[in-house]
Amino acid sequence: MSETRSAGRTMSEQANIPARIEAKPFESPTDDVMRGAARWEIKCLDHGFIALVDAMPRLVPHGQTADSAIVQAARVSYGQGTKQVHEDRGLIRYLMRHRHTTPFEMLEFKFHIAMPIFVARQWIRHRTANVNEYSARYSILPDRFYRPTLESVRKQSASNRQGGEETFKVDAAADEAKTAQDFLEYLSRAEALYQDYLGLTEHGVSRELARTGLPVSVYTEWYWKCDLHNILRFLGLRMDPHAQLEIREYAQAMHDLVAPVVPLTMEAWRDYEMDSVRLTRLEVEALRSSIKGGAAAPITEGNKREQAEWAAKARAFGLEPLPKT
């Protein structure tokens, strides 16, 4: 294994690594899961972004993805057994389907994110990550505020007290157009406080106090590091159509950054979590009464274990599973 030399000394010598530590080389060539990039970044909202800046593992066996680390962790319990990619896929799907979450906690992702403070306050509710936020006690907040377009100003939902649904019809009823415009002017007045904020700090008011007058539409930044299992929990909640539109945009971007690194896991997550439906006991009983004696079409997945599990579920509903042709 080659070592980078600087000023005539190896990295190991510079780091003063104790002699008793044995540095073992990789057993085979490796690939960088981020393709050698310093960061992958996606723009969000008007001034925001989410960037993947690191992942663990960063290096994986050549030709594989970081999904291999999940399989590696699982094999501590399951034994060496499966080695082929299609077998790795089957194991990952089994783990996801049966909610064996520990192997997914072995992977971590670190993001750099810029978002409005009101989005950050929703985000921080997920208490499973390591977070370090930009400090407005030490530094002046940049002049960046979130402002939706006139066409995207939303009305309060009639059925959900904490959400907004349809937008104001700005090209139709005059009252609706005026209300949407009034909202943007309200934001303008709030943003104008930024000049007062700057002036007061320049005249000696402490930054930690001066910031208290700024609106929650101002942008903040943080580094957010989380294991894959809890990232999937975050995505399941924040990509849901009931989540606030602004945080959904960040969640979708996070999904798109993670998916190339662990494609097998994200496929299984979509199949068994995001795009699945869970039934209560009462719903199961109602369905069983409605469909008893019918036939269940086979699932499209070719994995024999999944086919057998579906057959067992079909019989629980009183259905006769049809064989896969």
Catalytic residues: 238
> For residue 181, which of 149, 157, 155 has the smallest C-alpha distance?
149
Residue 53 contacts residue 111 (beta carbons within 8 Å): yes
Parallel, antiparallel or unpaired: strands 295-296 and 320-321: parallel
Our CA angle for 263, 265, 267, nearest 5°, is: 70
Strand 130-133 and strand 219-227: pairing?
A: antiparallel
Q: Tell whether omega for the bond before 241 is within 30 degrees of 0, i.e. cis.
A: no
Q: What is the per-residue burial (b if ≥16 Cβ within 10 Å, else e) of 297-319?
A: eebeeeeeebbeebbeebeebeb
> Considering only CA atoms, which of 234, 260, 248 is closest in space to residue 35?
260
Three-state secondary structure call for residue 52: strand
User: What does the alpha-carbon distance between residue 167 and residue 153 come to, in Å, rounded to a whole number?
Assistant: 6
